[in-house]
Amino acid sequence: MTRKTHIIFIFSVVLVLVSITTFAVVSIEVDRIGALLKERVQMVSNKYALEQKFIELNELIETTRADREALNTYVMTESKTISFLADIELIGTQQGVEFNTLSLNVAEMDTGPDLLSVQFSAVGSEVAVAKVLEILETLPYESTLTELSLTREEQSTLTVGVTLSIK
């Protein structure tokens, strides 16, 4: 081999080694950038999914607003307590029953709405008292009749003691 051929051979080997090294470095960098790109695409996808959920929740809030407002009318609040008592007494008066509110307690609940406990007595004819009790059963509140006592005063007069718990 001549000196010139020898130099060309060494130069070719060095050039091949530099090319292989460059290819390896570029391949490693492309893999790293590809993994970073994949991670960012996943982040964008997650963000888009969150935005979609947010939009869906806002739509749900808007579409159920009227239903929630309607349901809130059935929940007894402190501000509704006085009007509730006035309504009960009005029902009694309309039916010819004398109403007396004996006690009113509001118990704060850990979860959910407060519990209103009303104890009252009603005196009137048997038919009128029965009608008032029937009306109380249909109140638009979640209510539980916790105590009921009936006493016949006279032949046609009935006294009823009621304890009603309302959420």
The mean pLDDT of 17-26, rounded to a whole number, is 95
Q: How many degrees, rounded to 5, is the angle at CA 90 between CA 89 and CA 96?
A: 90
CATH of the domain at 142: 3.30.70.60
- Whether 57 and 87 map to the same domain: the answer is no
- Do residues 83 and 162 share a domain? yes
Residues of the domain holding 87 = 75-166
Looking at the structure of the chain, the number of domains it has is 2
Is residue 94 a part of any domain in this protein?
yes
Per-residue pLDDT reduced to its tens digit, 113-147: 667 788 888 888 888 888 888 888 887 777 777 88
Q: First vs last Cα of the chain: how many Å apart? A: 105
